[in-house]
Amino acid sequence: MTRAGRRALVSGASSGIGEATARLLAAEGYSVALLARRAPELEAVRADLAQVSGPQHLALVADVRCPAEVREAVDAVAAAYGALDLLVNCAGVGYRARVAELEPEPLRGLFETNVEGLLLLCRQALPLLRRGERAVVVNVSSVVGRRGIPGQVAYAASKAAVHSIGEGLRIEWAAEGIAVCTLAPALTATGFFQAQPNPSELAAPDLSGADEPARVARGVLALDRRPAPERSLRYKWHALGLLSLLAPRLADRILVRRLGGSWRAPSR
Ligand SMILES: NC(=O)c1ccc[n+]([C@@H]2O[C@H](COP(=O)([O-])OP(=O)(O)OC[C@H]3O[C@@H](n4cnc5c(N)ncnc54)[C@H](OP(=O)(O)O)[C@@H]3O)[C@@H](O)[C@H]2O)c1
């Protein structure tokens, strides 16, 4: 099968990085099943894709936190495509809050979406990936998945879990012939920051130097073409993650300087 005939499922495809990924894959000739909760946004993307490359794309309205909805969505992919060559786990939410301000419900929702939802979708899609051609899974993490940061401790922890899932899963599924990749985008200009809970209105990041979602989408496509265990889209963050293991105090000081604001590096 040529790359052009590949069958993909993209979660989080109603906006931002997932939408950009779906658009790029469709432009490259993939059949794309789009999954997210917001039906009108999802249907609008599907309709655009249909205009550009045909009617084979699917809009699957589902909440990754809900096992029955995930099962139903994957069943629809099975009925339409019979197999999956690429699964992109992009659905995710943020939580901008100091630990002192965390509330149980959004905290649970964060881990249910970013961690449990990703695992559920992987589990549910496995039989289709087994039938796929050179099947690839790309899990969208974040540069903060390899380096915790203040004000987003819970979010960074959920993305650290995504890195850990990638490490274990790529060995579990090697025998299945399925490549598992972790992609760590840096700051990207999407609606992510408006959507996330921010109870004490911590300063939102300056998006002026942020990546465009299309750049991350190209990172997903590159991993499908040439799978790699892990790819960070910012080498400085990658280096900071390594430094955090080797010289954590130095890494803290560098991070605090980079973040600015009122954060302080620990003095002891
Ligand atoms: N923007 C950044 O700076 C940045 C940096 C690094 C990593 N990331 C990661 O990139 C991914 C995409 O984020 P984005 O920046 O593109 O933000 P976004 O535009 O807010 O996209 C998030 C997507 O996830 C979907 N989603 C959220 N909860 C869901 C649920 N329970 N079930 C199904 N779908 C759900 C949303 O769709 P519905 O609301 O329609 O369900 C939306 O399509 C996330 O995993 C995020 O952590 C973002």
Domain holding 131, by residue range, is 3-233
- In this prediction, residue 3 carries a pLDDT of 65
Judge if 116 and 242 occupy the same domain.
no
88: domain CATH number? 3.40.50.720
* Residue 59 three-state SS: strand
Judge if 60 and 114 occupy the same domain.
yes
Judge if 182 and 255 occupy the same domain.
no
- In this prediction, residue 56 carries a pLDDT of 97
Q: Residue 189 CA: which ligand 1 atom is closest?
A: 1
Active site residue 155: yes
CA 252 from chain center: how many Å? 26
Judge if 61 and 193 occupy the same domain.
yes
Listed residue (182, 166, 222) closest to 21, CA to CA: 222
Judge if 228 and 247 occupy the same domain.
no
Lookup: tokens for 22: 């779906």
The amino acid sitting at 39 is: A
Residue closest via CA to ligand 1's atom 25 equals 12
Strand partners, 266: none
Across the beta sheet with 86-89, the strand order is: 58-61, 31-36, 7-11, 86-89, 136-140, 179-184, 230-232
Longest dimension (CA), the chain: 61
- In this prediction, residue 203 carries a pLDDT of 85
Dist. CA 162–CA 118, nearest whole Å: 8
Residue closest via CA to ligand 1's atom 19 equals 16
What are the DSSP calls for 7-54, one per residue? EEEEETTTSHHHHHHHHHHHHTT-EEEEEES-HHHHHHHHHHHHHHH-
Residue closest via CA to ligand 1's atom 34 equals 36
Residue closest via CA to ligand 1's atom 2 equals 188
Number of domains in the chain: 2
Judge if 223 and 266 occupy the same domain.
no
CA distances from residue 41 to 5, 46, 199 in whole angstroms, order as listed:
25, 9, 26
Judge if 225 and 240 occupy the same domain.
no
Write the burial class of residue 201 (CB in 10 Å: 0-12 exposed, 13-18 middle, 19+ buried).
Answer: exposed
Lookup: tokens for 105: 């419900």
Judge if 107 and 212 occupy the same domain.
yes
**What is the tens place of the pLDDT at every residue in 220-240?**
999 999 999 999 999 999 999
List all residues whose CB is within 6 A of at least one atom of ligand 1.
11-18, 36-38, 41, 63-65, 90-93, 113, 117, 140, 142, 185, 187-188, 190-192, 195
Q: How far is the CA of 250 from the centre of ligand 1 (A)?
A: 32
Which parts of the chain register pLDDT below 50? 1-2
Judge if 145 and 265 occupy the same domain.
no
Judge if 118 and 221 occupy the same domain.
yes
**What is the tens place of the pLDDT at every residue in 124-149?**
999 999 999 999 999 999 999 999 99
Q: How far is the CA of 74 from the centre of ligand 1 (A)?
A: 19
Lookup: tokens for 70: 């995930």
- In this prediction, residue 2 carries a pLDDT of 46
